[in-house]
């Protein structure tokens, strides 16, 4: 992993400056590895438009999941880039507009049958080539999954949570970056949650709030929060 500036030693940045610095770091990392946008798409497992907008100075800030994927693809310090994203997307309390009531019809993120969600759509990182000098766009490829001891515990928790009359349960998968947390969660959901469940993936904290306000999360549902530290941040939730 390339060394990054120590966030503690940096002068405080405004949201605009933090977003510029975030994109500067991403661009520098891409140029250092001499990767095209197509190669970035392949390495990160993200869509072409998502990658393009992450680097574009005219696009909105990327999501935390996008920054995670790009940082992994470029070998950059994920925590430093997420700190920049946090600063870039933080609105001072006094500058927040008064919230508007949001009708249920305005909720863009809706539950879908759990088996309709693919690993790619849920943020699982694809396999990377063992030959970085030979970037071949082979699509989204996952290696065979090898269960580890924690998989049994996670699956047992999900089986219990999915049982009839079971109370709502919060299950958090923790671990260092690039250790397979999202893949572990995906495999556990596939293994332990019945086919008739729905799964909801909010695009961001605002979408999560809208979904909860509109009661979009029904019984026998899974709420999937990749990078939950951002989705549940008091700053983003406004409370």
Give the structural domain span for 191: 104-237
Q: Which of 90, 113, 139 is the last residue of a domain?
A: 90
pLDDT at 72 over 50: yes
E strands within 52-178?
112-113
Instruction: Assess if residue 30 is contained within a domain.
Output: yes
Instruction: Assess if residue 130 is contained within a domain.
Output: yes
Distance set, CA 161 to CA 64, 189, 195, 222 (Å): 27, 11, 14, 10
Check whether residue 109 and residue 63 sit in a common domain: no
pLDDT, position 59: 87
Instruction: Assess if residue 98 is contained within a domain.
Output: no
Q: pLDDT averaged over the chain? A: 80
Q: Which of 60, 90, 120 is the last residue of a domain?
A: 90
Check whether residue 20 and residue 86 sit in a common domain: yes
Per-residue pLDDT reduced to its tens digit, 10-56: 447 888 888 999 999 999 999 999 999 989 988 888 888 889 999 99
Per-residue pLDDT reduced to its tens digit, 146-199: 999 999 999 999 999 999 999 999 999 988 877 889 999 999 999 999 999 999
Token duo for residue 177: 């970056």
Check whether residue 71 and residue 134 sit in a common domain: no
Check whether residue 201 and residue 174 sit in a common domain: yes
Residue with tokens 């497992």: 45
Check whether residue 146 and residue 189 sit in a common domain: yes
pTM over 0.75: no
Check whether residue 115 and residue 177 sit in a common domain: yes
Distance set, CA 190 to CA 125, 154, 171, 184 (Å): 17, 12, 15, 10
DSSP 8-state symbol, 221: E
Check whether residue 216 and residue 157 sit in a common domain: yes
Domain count, the chain: 2
Instruction: Assess if residue 41 is contained within a domain.
Output: yes
Check whether residue 210 and residue 118 sit in a common domain: yes
Instruction: Assess if residue 118 is contained within a domain.
Output: yes
CATH number of the domain within which 14 lies: 1.10.260.40
pLDDT, position 93: 41
Per-residue pLDDT reduced to its tens digit, 191-234: 999 999 999 988 777 778 778 887 878 899 999 988 777 666 65
Instruction: Assess if residue 1 is contained within a domain.
Output: no
**Interatomic CA distance for residues 125 and 8, integer angstroms:** 29
* Residue 135 vs residue 61, higher pLDDT: 61
């Amino acid at each position: 992993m390339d060394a990054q500036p120590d966030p503690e030693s940096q002068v405080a940045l405004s949201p605009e400056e933090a977003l510029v610095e975030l994109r500067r770091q991403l661009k520098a990392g891409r140029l250092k590895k001499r990767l095209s946008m197509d190669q970035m798409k392949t390495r990160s497992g993200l869509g072409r438009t998502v990658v393009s907008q992450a680097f574009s100075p005219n696009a909105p800030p990327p999501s935390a999941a996008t920054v995670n994927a790009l940082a992994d693809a470029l070998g950059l310090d994920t925590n430093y880039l997420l700190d920049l994203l946090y600063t870039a997307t933080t609105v001072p309390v006094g500058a927040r507009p008064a919230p508007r009531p949001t009708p249920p019809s305005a909720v863009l993120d809706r539950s879908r049958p759990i088996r309709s969600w693919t690993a790619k759509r849920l943020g699982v990182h694809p396999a990377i080539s063992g030959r970085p000098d030979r970037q071949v766009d082979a699509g989204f490829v996952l290696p065979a999954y090898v269960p580890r001891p924690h998989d049994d515990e996670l699956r047992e928790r999900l089986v219990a949570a999915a049982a009839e009359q079971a109370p709502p349960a919060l299950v958090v998968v923790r671990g260092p970056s690039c250790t397979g947390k999202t893949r572990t969660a995906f495999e556990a959901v596939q293994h332990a949650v019945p086919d008739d469940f729905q799964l909801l993936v909010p695009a961001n904290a605002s979408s999560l709030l809208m979904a909860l306000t509109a009661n979009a999360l029904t019984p026998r549902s899974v709420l999937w929060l990749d990078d939950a530290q951002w989705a549940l941040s008091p700053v983003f939730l406004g409370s």
